[in-house]
Amino acid sequence: MSDLHDQVAIITGGGSGIGRAMAETFVAAGARVLIFDLDEVASNQAVEAIQKMGGSAAFQKCDVADQASVRAAVEAGEAELGAVAILVNNAGIAHIGTALSTDEDDFDRIMRVNVKGVYNTLHVVLPKMIEAGGGVVLNMSSVAAITGLKDRFAYSTSKGAVHTMTFAVAADCLEKNVRCNCICPARVHTPFVDGYLDKNYPDNREEMFQKLSEAQPIGRMARPEEIAKLALYLCSDDADFITGQSFPVDGGYLNLR
């Protein structure tokens, strides 16, 4: 396993799903993890589970769309666990709709969280990393950023921005010892997926779950821990030669359909 011994990592949206899997995986590799999230219940449960593992984690309530909230969370988190060496921009929200059906409020909400949220954490954390001599940034993009998905207009737009921000940060920070990459998952089986099915398909939930699973040629959705293992590698010194790259984790979705 790649080693993150004694490094401090911020994981936004770390209270559940992929974020929690990354938090647990990073801690198992020796990191101290700061979970930034708005869900206090889920985040405190994640911290408690990590502490029971014998790991070090803390929760800071944070609205990534609000730069003042991000700054306060970073300052409090660093005071508790130490200087941040790794930033994982995982927090994000989904939306279903086309350019015709997406209203302005929904579009703005997606941009505030998924795009401005990443900008805010970068704007606050990068100067600290650079001053400390370097660090690693990992952004959660999506296959939606690099292929056409029906009814995902705003979401795809936001992930396209995250995708290109990854390359911009990698280029701008190349000589400052900060690496920046992104992961592009296809569908991942998280509590969000379960909630979506329960809400929209209560009468044929299992049928729709199978349909969503089979959208990936491999025949299933990804597991959060599979994304987390790649995240661990990319944030470790094992990946020291890798920057400005995107990594699809898609069960063959992009090339084998």
Catalytic annotation present for 196: no
- Annotated catalytic residue, options 119, 155, 196, 233: 155
Give CA–CA dist 126/136, Å, rounded. Answer: 9
The answer to whether residues 120 and 173 touch, using CB atoms and an 8 Å cutoff, is no
The string over 79-107, giving b where at least 16 C-beta atoms fall within 10 Å of a residue's C-beta and e elsewhere, is eebeebbbbbbbbbbebebeeeebeeebb
Give catalytic residue positions. Answer: 155
